[in-house]
Amino acid sequence: MDHSIQKAATVKGGISDSKCAAHGLKNCSNKEHLANGAKLVVVTDKGGEICTVTNPDTVADHQGHHVKVDGEFDESAKTITVAKVEMLK
């Protein structure tokens, strides 16, 4: 049985890859990491939480950038399905 609960969320953070995010780098722009199997993630400004992006094409052009994303967040799976992305300064 699936116990995941998705809820609408807006988060600010860096777009990075899962490998670098696990080592504390919240805005890695090295696309080679993705070619080697890493996933695109959002590393939140608040708490440094790492959320895997379930639809990475929506944020691929923003890898290495600070952004605000709107989407559906699954807290138990630590994933976010991005509906909208906006660059931040």
* Amino acid (one-letter) located at 69: V
- Backbone phi and psi for residue 39, each to the nearest 5 degrees, phi listed first: -110, 155
pLDDT for 2-31, tens place per residue? 556 789 999 999 999 999 999 999 999 999
CA atoms of 26 and 20, how far apart (whole Å): 7
Which residue segments constitute the domains of the chain, with CATH numbers given? 6-87 (2.40.50)
pLDDT for 40-82, tens place per residue? 999 999 999 999 999 999 999 999 999 999 999 999 999 999 9
CA distances to 6, 7, 59 from 19, rounded to whole Å, are: 24, 26, 17
Look-up of token digits 């490998």 = 19
What is the pLDDT, as a whole number, of residue 3? 59
